Amino acid sequence: MIAFDWQQYEPTKSCLAGKNILVTGAADGIGKAVTIALAKHGATVLMLDKKARHLEKLYDQIIERGATEPVILPVDLMDINPESATILAQSIHNDIGKLDGILHNAADLGSPSPLDQYEIKYWDSVMQTNLHAPYFLTRALLPLLKHESTTNILFTSANVGRDAAAYWGAYAIAYAGLESQMKIWAEELENTSNIKINSIDPGAVRTSFRRRSHPGESQEKLPAPQSIVNAYLFVFASSHKLHGEQLTVGV
């Protein structure tokens, strides 16, 4: 395992200048914090989220900070299938050209409950958002990532996807599948492209998602999303050798 020394990494102000990075679930929480950080360091961030009004507000915040102008992609991952992903990829190719990174950050918690009582509507939405959509998007966008420069795909995971626990249902199962997907992509592309592929467990962070997943937990003691953005800058901006790794953020 290669060391993930993100806390010691010191990104330069323009370390991502000229880079185009797609972030799903960009409107809130970790996705929002990482989007702002990427833009501050020069990246053109393609902000993908179903919350169009939140994306518009985030766009204004980024511009007000004097950061690189982002691109708004109001897309619901529930609508992503092989055909719509291909259309999106073609649109990005026509308007932007290449991609230098993808952060699959969007997540659906579902309804934690015993498997024999799990509601199928939640099962379907969690599997679509957390597992199927990242696959469809990665597959469709892969040609835009295959160029001379090193590019990165980062799949967001969770500890219950790596070490399953009771009552986490579709959420844990989807992320277990995502971890396998990451490993397979990494092995298949290792000798045929310059794409680095990893997964990341951001750990316990003070977000609205965390409040829903752990309703009895004290949020005040948790780190803010801004405190872990360096981990993502490390992946997308540094000349690391991480590939096929299950990364964990610890603060």
* Catalytic site positions: 171
Kind plus residue range of the DSSP H or E element containing 63: helix 52-64
Q: What gap in Å lies between CA 172 and CA 167, rounded to an integer?
A: 9
Helix (H, G, I), strand (E, B) or coil at 85: helix
How far apart CA 126 and CA 123 sit, in angstroms, is 5
Beta-carbon contacts of 21 under 8 Å, excluding residues fewer than 6 positions away, are 38, 43, 44, 45, 46, 99, 100, 101, 102, 103, 236
